[in-house]
């Protein structure tokens, strides 16, 4: 009910009477009063004026489960949402939930990660109070070889979510980094569990740098946060809600063919590497070429100096610009 009260007060933008809430939610006045008091304890500024009702001051962000629930407006993505003040890693938690039978769409969100991870065992810097760390649980019925494409679907959803929330125009560095003016704003880690030859579940983890912060060496040269570009604070719950809203239709389109065919153009329109010289850091040997786009399976197409085209699979490979990160 707390999330519903928040959503109602926010939508009205003015006073809402206690009686109206009782009627709407079919609860007693005491129950409404208790819920309001708990929201106040969580940090919301809510005025109570007799004969007028309750008023929510809109300015502050209170990042938590009620805020998230009150903003997530989807059919299934982000439902339910579990929020943690601090956690080892949202991916690890999502995997535990998945093993215990949690349904597709379950979302784990944290304010801080103590063991945030990136691809190939790298760390993801995850300080408290500033950023977004979440993991979405999916249970697609498809061949495991296609799972890496879900990262690309999420990258597109994150880019769209940032676009809508911040009015910025982020780009995607293949396969799954979001960049603004060449700086890394967001990273992702997709992991899956198999049962025989089938996917048991997939977790897609996302870390987005949002508030102003000092990045430690060695990432300070390549990392940036959204607020550096917006010039004002970004509401993290709104951002997550918008990403979930973008993800649903993109995922539906992905499921039509179980590949990128339907959303390839959208992805390529945002691809920062397109028609740029790239260095492919392949464990079998580094090479350079010109990135031309992706194929239907989400692999990067790199034109080599001799005219041949190499298809690069996301799994083990990083891509860099010739003279810098992008
Ligand atoms: P890349 O191509 O940048 O190496 P990747 O996709 O292989 O990226 P990710 O899993 O996305 O790697 O991210 C891990 C890497 O990102 C780390 O090794 C570190 O260099 C960098 N990094 C860690 N934390 C952050 C952060 N908060 N913001 C930006 N970059 C970060």
User: What's the whole-number average pLDDT of the chain?
Assistant: 95
Is any atom of ligand 1 closer than 6 Å to the C-beta of 119? Answer: yes
| Section 277-288 average pLDDT | 92
Cα–Cα distance between 226 and 249 in angstroms, integer? 24
pLDDT of 314: 79
- Predicted confidence (pLDDT) at residue 59 exceeds the cutoff of 80: no
Candidate of 114, 116, 118 to mutate for ligand 1, largest count of ligand atoms within 8 Å of Cβ: 118
pLDDT of 149: 96
Is any atom of ligand 1 closer than 6 Å to the C-beta of 219? Answer: yes
CA distance to 5, 14, 37, 38, 111, per residue, from 33 (Å): 11, 17, 6, 9, 28
Cα–Cα distance between 15 and 4 in angstroms, integer? 15
DSSP letters spanning 228-264: HHHSS---HHHHHHHHHHHHHHHHHHHHHHTSSTTTH
Its CATH architecture, for the domain 2-56, is Orthogonal Bundle (1.10)
Q: What is the pLDDT of residues 260-270, one digit of tens each?
A: 999 999 999 99
| Contact assessment for residue 162 and residue 168, using Cβ atoms and an 8 Å cutoff | yes
pLDDT of 60: 72
| Contact assessment for residue 160 and residue 136, using Cβ atoms and an 8 Å cutoff | no
The confidence band for 196, taking pLDDT boundaries of 50, 70 and 90, is: confident
Domain boundaries of the chain, sorted by first residue: 2-56, 65-269, 277-321
**Which residue's alpha carbon is at the smallest distance from atom 8 of ligand 1?**
318
List the structure tokens of 149. 């494409």
The ligand 1 atom at the shortest distance from the C-alpha of residue 223 is 29
CA distance to 81, 89, 124, 148, per residue, from 92 (Å): 15, 5, 14, 18
Q: Ligand 1 mean position to 124 CA, how many Å?
A: 6
Q: What is the pLDDT of residues 100-134, one digit of tens each?
A: 999 999 999 999 999 999 988 899 999 999 999 99
Q: What is the pLDDT of residues 14-24, one digit of tens each?
A: 999 999 999 99
**Which residue's alpha carbon is at the smallest distance from atom 26 of ligand 1?**
125
The pTM (predicted TM-score) of the whole model is 0.94
Q: Ligand 1 mean position to 232 CA, how many Å?
A: 24
pLDDT of 96: 98
**Which residue's alpha carbon is at the smallest distance from atom 2 of ligand 1?**
318
- Predicted confidence (pLDDT) at residue 97 exceeds the cutoff of 90: yes
Cα–Cα distance between 229 and 303 in angstroms, integer? 33
pLDDT of 325: 83
Q: Ligand 1 mean position to 87 CA, how many Å?
A: 19
Is any atom of ligand 1 closer than 6 Å to the C-beta of 223? Answer: yes
pLDDT of 215: 96
Is any atom of ligand 1 closer than 6 Å to the C-beta of 187? Answer: yes
| Section 247-258 average pLDDT | 98
**Which residue's alpha carbon is at the smallest distance from atom 13 of ligand 1?**
118
**Which residue's alpha carbon is at the smallest distance from atom 18 of ligand 1?**
122
The ligand 1 atom at the shortest distance from the C-alpha of residue 173 is 2
Q: What is the pLDDT of residues 198-248, one digit of tens each?
A: 999 999 999 999 999 999 999 999 999 999 999 999 999 999 999 999 999
Q: What is the pLDDT of residues 129-155, one digit of tens each?
A: 999 999 999 999 999 999 999 999 999
Domain 277-321 sits in CATH 2.30.30.100: yes
pLDDT of 105: 98
pLDDT of 148: 93
Measure the CA dihedral 265/267/268/269, to 10°: 80
Is any atom of ligand 1 closer than 6 Å to the C-beta of 148? Answer: no
The confidence band for 55, taking pLDDT boundaries of 50, 70 and 90, is: very high
Q: Ligand 1 mean position to 187 CA, how many Å?
A: 6
Domain 65-269 sits in CATH 3.30.930.10: yes
User: What is the bridge-based pairing of β-strands 183-195 and 81-87?
Assistant: unpaired
pLDDT of 169: 97
């Amino acid at each position: 009910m707390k999330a519903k009260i928040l959503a109602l007060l926010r939508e009205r933008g003015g006073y809402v009477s206690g009686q109206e809430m009782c009627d709407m939610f079919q609860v007693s006045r005491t129950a409404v009063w208790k819920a309001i008091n708990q929201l106040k304890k969580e940090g919301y500024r809510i005025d109570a004026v007799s004969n007028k009702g309750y008023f929510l001051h809109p300015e502050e962000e209170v990042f938590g489960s009620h805020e998230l629930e009150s903003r997530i407006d989807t059919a299934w993505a982000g439902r339910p949402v579990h929020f943690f003040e601090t956690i080892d890693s949202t991916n690890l938690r999502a995997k535990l939930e998945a093993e215990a039978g949690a349904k597709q769409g379950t979302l784990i969100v944290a304010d801080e990660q103590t063991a945030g991870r990136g691809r190939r065992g790298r760390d993801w810097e995850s300080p408290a109070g500033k950023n977004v760390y979440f993991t979405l649980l999916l249970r697609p019925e498809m061949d495991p070889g296609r799972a890496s494409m879900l990262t690309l679907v999420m990258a597109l959803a994150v880019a769209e979510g940032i676009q809508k929330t911040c009015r910025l125009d982020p780009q995607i560095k293949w396969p799954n980094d979001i960049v603004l003016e060449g700086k890394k704003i967001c990273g992702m880690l997709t992991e899956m569990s198999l049962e025989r030859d089938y996917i048991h579940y997939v977790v897609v983890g996302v870390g987005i740098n949002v508030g102003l912060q000092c990045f430690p060496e060695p990432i300070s040269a390549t990392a940036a946060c959204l607020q550096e570009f917006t010039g004002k604070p970004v509401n993290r719950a709104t951002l997550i809600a918008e990403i979930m809203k973008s993800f649903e239709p993109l995922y539906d389109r992905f499921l039509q063919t179980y590949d990128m065919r339907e959303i390839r153009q959208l992805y390529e329109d945002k691809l920062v590497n397109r028609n740029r010289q790239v260095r492919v850091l392949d464990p079998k040997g580094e090479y350079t070429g010109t990135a031309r786009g992706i194929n239907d399976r989400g692999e990067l197409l790199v034109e080599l100096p001799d005219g041949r085209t190499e298809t690069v699979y996301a799994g083990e490979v990083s891509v860099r610009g010739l003279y810098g990160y992008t």
